[in-house]
Amino acid sequence: MFGYGSLMWNPGFEFVERSQALIHGYRRSLCVHSWVHRGTQQNPGLVLGLDRGGSCRGMAFRIAGENWDAVIAYLRARELVTNVYLERQVPLQLEGRRSVQGIAYVVDRHHTQYAGSLDTLGAARIVHEAKGQSGPNDAYVFNTLAHLKQMGIRDQWLEEVVDEVERLRAA
């Protein structure tokens, strides 16, 4: 199982092993409009999706065979609520350059919640202004970046979005 956002530090399921992993052909992006937790339909926020292009460093989880069905059911209930994500089997490169197949949830570019590829300032403006049932959108983004840094994972684009949000706060 491949996590690129909150799944990395809050998987919510039992796993046998966890390892940093790299996926090619996808990148971590604030590309999903949040209409409930981090925004509203009138003022949507942005949450992470795994979008086409580039690469993404995240966390791979090995699941025990006897737990597989329960973990998949849990993740489908968690990730596929509005069907903005698609469950895909993808090649992952683990630490030590070992390759395995894994499951990842990638954004459905045809879904109405797909925000597209936003530039840094555009994403920062949305994140700065949106608030939903789970709180301000900027808290979600700042928390995500803090967890990534704790895990030793660098995401330059997300860092730039946070810098822009901080500039907007100061203005």
- In 78-155 the beta strands, taken as DSSP E runs, fall at 85-94, 99-107, 131-132, 135-136
pLDDT at site 81: 85
Give the chain's residues under pLDDT 50: none
Question: pTM value?
Answer: 0.91
Q: Which domain holds residue 119?
A: 2-170
Total count of domains within the chain: 1
* Terminal CA-CA length for the chain: 41
pLDDT score of 96 = 86
What per-residue confidence (pLDDT) applies to 132?
Answer: 94
Q: What are the pLDDT digits (tens) for 128-150?
A: 999 999 999 999 999 999 999 99
- Contact predicate 45/132, CB 8 Å: yes
Confidence at residue 69, expressed as pLDDT on a 0 to 100 scale: 97
Strand 85-94 to 45-62 pairing:
unpaired
